[in-house]
A and B are shown apart, each in its own frame.
Chain A
Amino acid sequence: MPPEPADSAMACDLPAIARRWGNDPANLVQILRNVQESCGVVPSETLDQLARLVGVARVRLEATASFYSFFHADSHGAYEVLFSDNIIDRHAGKAELMQYLCERLWVEPGKVSEDGLVYVDETSDIGLADLAPAMLVNGLAVPSLDKARIDLLAELIRSRKPLAHWPAMLFEVPDNVRRAGPLLGEPFEPGAALASMLSIGAEETLARIEASGLRGRGGAGYPTAAKWASCRKAVGDAHCVVCNADEGEPGTFKDRVLLASHADLVIEGMTVCARVIGARRGLIYLRGEYRNLLPALGRTLERRRAAGLLGTDILGARGFDFDIAIHLGAGAYICGEESALIESLEGKPGKPRNRPPFPDRCGYRGQPTVVNNVETFACAARIAERGAARFAGMGTPQSTGTKLISVSGDCARPGVYEVPFGVTVREVLAECGAKHAHAVQVSGPSGTCVSFQEFERRIAFEDLASAGAFMVFSRERDMFEVARNFTHFFAHESCGFCTPCRVGTSLLRNIMDKLAAGKGSPYDMQEMKRIMCVLRDMAHCGLGHTAANPVVQTMQKFPEAYERRLKKLEFEPAFDLDDALETARLITGRDDEWAHLAAD
């Protein structure tokens, strides 16, 4: 059976949906998700009724509803098909397959078919780069697309077969773990880390985490023990543990594997954290693209409650009360930023907060909150279970332990690799069977573009800090197009809060499109560098700070990819005077020589 299908979840009963979420405006994103899933749309009329039900101004609901990509007021038909649009999907033939599907279904991208049956469009990376090209059908992942699968999909859609009756194999997502280490490769008995913690106490457990040298696996590398210790000390009446499972960085998918097959480890890490900081409440913010993981995660939580590993008096320890709820995202990369994630958990548009204060003092609902990456919690559980020595003994002195790398692109064996920190890019390339690698994008678009001359560099916080993405590009790939895809991604995902990022990411995208159209000049290259400086210095959060990195780095490392697109050596205007006359030509019905400006 495929996972719980989105199209039969719940009748479009607004009071019931709102009640399910406590009529609490802080749960607005979840309420809107349920409305979207059960009604197929978030109709404008709904907002007034919902506003009354949760007791906030309609305009606040509209702000939230219009922020997230997966909410829409217009119907997307009975079947909404969204192709993942990472550069890896493109290299794997996404554009051709999408066109093929559109032809088979007689539909234009971005428009509902005339019979109201189907809608086909693109979406940002969906966390299946090892199984590219991939898509979401009514929110559920379908990986490993090829012509045969598209034929089958087209047939199922045309025959209006309910999603619940589609062949289960379409929704099967293998883990593709290619190399396992202490984190993924060794058995874990649910409760083992908790038992170990209860025997040594919370303080000693925190000391273990500190001794292990564990640093945040989301990419920034902040010491986990320092975050926990600060939150433990912070004054508040409802400390909170949040698991950041909004794995949106294109090319990253290791958290998908952790959540699909090692959820106990992750949840146990959260529970250990809860004991250390004194939290009774936990939240998993699961990216909307991972909707297919929700039913199994819910069952794992249930199983742990039944086993006394969640709930009240956990493992018989009096007063050790902790439980976890899952919130789903709704298509917004920015929610991976921890303060934007908290805003989203509170039912608002995912816009990063002004900091300080940081979440450890003022997070979810203003309470002290630890936000950690999925992998960080998994590591913490292992450390609590087995002590710090083994973990600290792996990797490098500044980057201890192992790291999960999500390998995709031009290689024989894409998938998840658990490697010790300090591994070189070349070693990973050899292991995944990338024979003709020319460049690797480490840690996704916001990370580092590593050229073939730098393959001795190491994956570690002191060299190539990484959240896990490792996208391989072989010699025949056009690094300009890679960077252009990333600028489109950032322009699409900018939250729009601050001026430099809102406008700067669109300016960058437009200039890259101008170059792609063969109308670029060295002046445009200078312009992009200038925009990069403004983004780096003035933007509100990491998205803006790094949004120009792909362009600037590829310009520096692969200048030839840009130079062959430059039309002139000086300046080329962004507009084409002859194109500007097109409307006039249409009106006058002329297309003769005199109706055109002479080309120079």
Chain B
Amino acid sequence: MSAGTFTLDGRAIPFEEGQTILDAAAAAGVDIPHLCHLPGLAPHGSCKLCTVSIGGRLGAACTNRAAAGMTVESETAELNAHRLTLVQMLFVEGNHFCPSCEKSGACRLQETARRLGMTTPHFTHFFPARDLDASHPDVVLERNRCILCELCVRASRDVDGKNVFAIGGRGIRARLIVNSASGRLADTALSANDRAVEVCPTGAILRKRVGFAVPIGRRPYDRHDIALSLPTRRGEGAGGG
């Protein structure tokens, strides 16, 4: 039941009562770049890629609700330049080596960077020392690739009912922590078919023993643009599609 329409980059977008700008746009087949949002999980508003101009004021499309008659601008040169900078920030803050990453071709970070025209990381790399946790029998946690989007945190808490993940620390030292005294993923309640394992936009959380099941060249973003994978992205995990 449509509650009205708003304008997104000159196009009329219908929306339902309570729907966010991002979700309404997605339902109409229009992609606003984003990394920390997934339908079915509570909006978060942390990656800031989906920042749009709402009647001249900037705000995250994933947390702001659509309202009848509002004018939203997303595909502007300035906003896309800012988005590119944000993606570059994410690349230099972690350790992302696409050629050796199993998620390559199915990675939202990589694909969003491509879509925004990123050719270099631009900034000086931080090269942080981050732990890889391979203790779990079925899942590997590679913190070097974590972009702190908290999708796994929300999925584990709200869908799986397990609270396996959280963000610890503050500022640039923020890091993904797991629910065990040992700090090891093996000692948590995580299981391989948890929603939390599916939702990672990068290669930070991967299922074991399915690596390269889908060859490079036939992965989701090898075949189509990220904007065409709307509106739901279930089954887009490693090697999925």
Interface stretch of the complex, out of B100-108, B175-183, B202-210, B217-225: B175-183
With beta carbons under 8 angstroms apart, the residue of B48, B85, B177 that contacts A498 is: B48
How far does the Cβ of A72 sit from chain B's closest Cβ, in whole Å?
A: 12
Bound CA–CA A497/B89 (angstroms): 14
List B residues 148-190 near A (Cβ within 8 Å).
148, 163-174, 177-181
- Given the interface pairs A504-B89, A575-B124, the reply to whether A494 lies near B46 with Cβ below 8 Å is no
Given the complex, which residues of B lie within 8 Å of A57, measured CB to CB? 163, 166, 179
Residues in A neighbouring B43, C-beta threshold 8 A: 354
Contact yes or no, A496 B86, CB < 8 A: no
Closest Cβ–Cβ distance, residue B126 to chain A (whole Å): 7
Find out whether the CB atom of B46 lies under 8 angstroms from the CB atom of A533.
no
**What's the interface size class on B, roughly?**
35 or more
Which of A82-129 touch B at CB < 8 Å? none
Distance (whole angstroms) from the CB of B124 to the closest CB of chain A: 4
Residue B90 at the chain A interface, CB threshold 8 Å: yes
Once the chains bind, are B170 and A506 in contact (CB under 8 Å)?
Answer: no
A47-B181, A63-B167 are contacts. A502–B45 as well, Cβ < 8 Å?
no
The reply to whether A499 and B86 contact each other, CB–CB distance below 8 Å, is yes
Are A59 and B126 closer than 8 Å at their CB atoms?
A: no
Of B46, B167, B171, the residue contacting A505 (CB under 8 A) is: B171
Please report the C-alpha to C-alpha distance between residue A103 and residue B172 in the assembled complex, in whole angstroms.
31
Say yes or no for B92: interface residue by CB 8 A criterion: yes
Cα separation A494 to B179 with both chains bound (whole Å): 24
Check B51 for interface membership: any CB of A closer than 8 A. Answer: yes
Q: Is the CB of B174 within 8 A of A496?
A: yes
Contact in complex: B46, A498 (CB < 8 Å): yes
**B60 shortest CB reach to chain A, Å:** 7
B163 touches A59 (CB 8 A): yes
Partner of A66, one of B60, B93, B168: B168
User: A458 at the A/B interface (Cβ < 8 Å)?
Assistant: no
With contact pairs A503-B90, A503-B92, A537-B82 given, residues A496 and B171 touching in the complex (Cβ less than 8 Å): yes
Residues of A contacting B166 in the complex (Cβ-Cβ under 8 angstroms): 57, 59-60, 62-63
| A90 nearest CB across to chain B (Å) | 21
The yes or no answer to A67 lying at the interface (CB within 8 A) is: yes
Write the chain A residue with the least CB distance to B62. Answer: A354
Q: Is B230 an interface position by the 8 A CB rule? A: no
- Per-residue CB contact flags for chain B residues 65-88 toward chain A (1 = under 8 Å, else 0) read 000000000000000001001100
The complex places the Cα of A12 from the Cα of B23 at a distance, in Å, of 49
Q: Tell me the minimal C-beta distance from A65 to chain B in angstroms.
A: 8
Question: What mask results when residues 296 to 337 of chain A are scored 1 for a CB within 8 Å of chain B, else 0?
Answer: 000000000000000000000000000000000000100000
Is the pair B48, A499 in contact by a Cβ cutoff of 8 Å?
A: yes
Decide yes or no whether B3 CB sits under 8 A from chain A.
no
In whole Å, how far is B90's beta carbon from the nearest beta carbon of chain A?
Answer: 6
B54 to chain A: which residues have CB within 8 Å?
none
**CA separation between A499 and B146, bound complex, in Å?**
12
Residues in chain B near residue A505, CB distance under 8 A? 171-172
A291 lies within 8 A of chain B by Cβ: no
A501: nearest chain-B partner, CB-CB: B171
Give the complex CA separation of A497 and B163 in angstroms.
19
Instruction: State which residues 1-47 of A face B: CB under 8 Å.
Output: 44-45, 47
Indicate if B212 sits at the interface (CB-CB under 8 A): no
* Chain A residues within an 8 Å CB radius of B51: 537-538
Report yes or no: A62 in contact with B177, Cβ–Cβ below 8 A.
Answer: yes
A579 to chain B, nearest CB (A): 14
A180 proximal to B (CB < 8 A): no
Residue of B nearest to A44 (CB): B181
Q: Is A561 an interface residue (CB 8 A)?
A: no
Residues of B within 8 A of A492 (CB): 171
Instruction: Write the nearest CB–CB distance from B174 to chain A, whole angstroms.
Output: 4
B113 beta carbon closer than 8 Å to chain A: no
Task: Judge if B47 is at the interface, Cβ distance under 8 Å.
Answer: yes
Q: Are A354 and B63 in contact (CB under 8 A)?
A: yes
Closest beta carbon of chain B to A523's beta carbon, Å: 12
Q: Is A530 an interface residue (CB 8 A)?
A: yes
Within 8 A of B (CB), among A514-573: 530-531, 533-534, 537-540
Interface residues of A (CB under 8 A from B): 44-45, 47-48, 56-60, 62-63, 66-69, 332, 349, 354, 491-500, 502-507, 510, 530-531, 533-534, 537-540, 574-575
Q: Which 8 A-B pairs have the closest CB atoms?
A: A496-B174, A57-B163, A59-B179, A503-B89, A494-B171, A66-B168, A63-B166, A59-B166
**Chain B interfacial positions (CB closer than 8 Å to A):** 43-49, 51, 58, 60, 63, 82, 85-86, 89-90, 92-93, 123-124, 126, 147-148, 163-174, 177-181
Question: What are 13 A-B contacts defined by CB distance under 8 Å?
Answer: A45-B181, A56-B163, A62-B166, A62-B168, A68-B170, A495-B171, A498-B48, A499-B90, A506-B126, A506-B172, A507-B123, A534-B85, A574-B124
